[in-house]
Chain A
């Protein structure tokens, strides 16, 4: 993995998510807004093609850290930095472990892995935020946010195959092709 290029790409994705994310968001009356998590798609893309699980988890951590810095928080007060980076790292590890079960070039594989990734990352994040802000959060709020996270995961998963097509064009720059036997997994 070329980390400098990856960080630049993460910046670009987060920039698009922070500005244009609102255009793609859908609002449900009972749940709230559901927008795509493009950073998750990039994390899944990295998990699909990096050489080791540690690379995948570090990539996930970097993306999660950016998201943490640019997100306000769901509880009405600024959320602490840290939970999303850990959640992303965890989810990236899981996605890396699952990738052998799929044909990674197929849109269905990217859909499934992004769905799993987002469910793990956002479910964990929502839970941690609820615990940290337990004085102002209710069980109702928690349930609604979990539902929101589920819908967000589905939406992000639907969008992930499209985004991954764009990311594919940068794969040669981002991922160092393995030499020798490792080449066959490409």
Chain B
């Protein structure tokens, strides 16, 4: 089956079995191995990607479900050089240890911040409740996302209050 979709901003046509799991399509066909598999049944969230801006478990999505959709993976959230403030916050605040949950965690955090740039700790915990981390105890992940939200807010306000071009 031919599937038209957009992956990390690039229009893509895939010729795959309609039942192929999205995670396999990404990892095996597209070589986007930043998306990880921890359980294969939608519990751990290591395979979280954005579909039309919503965080979903790519192990529970099949190829035919992404027809006409926008899929974004951790690779698509990473700038060509350097890191985003969200990624930098994870490094600085201790939001990662072994790293296997980190791409999915950052994707889930992105989905939250795109909707709510002023989340409190409980809203963050709720947004990442589908992403299991066994290393950190989550405390520093919550801190990382709080800090990233603050950084992104201050950048926005800089843009808002910038004087008009002369």
A and B held together in a complex = no
Q: Chain A residues in contact with chain B, CB under 8 A?
A: none
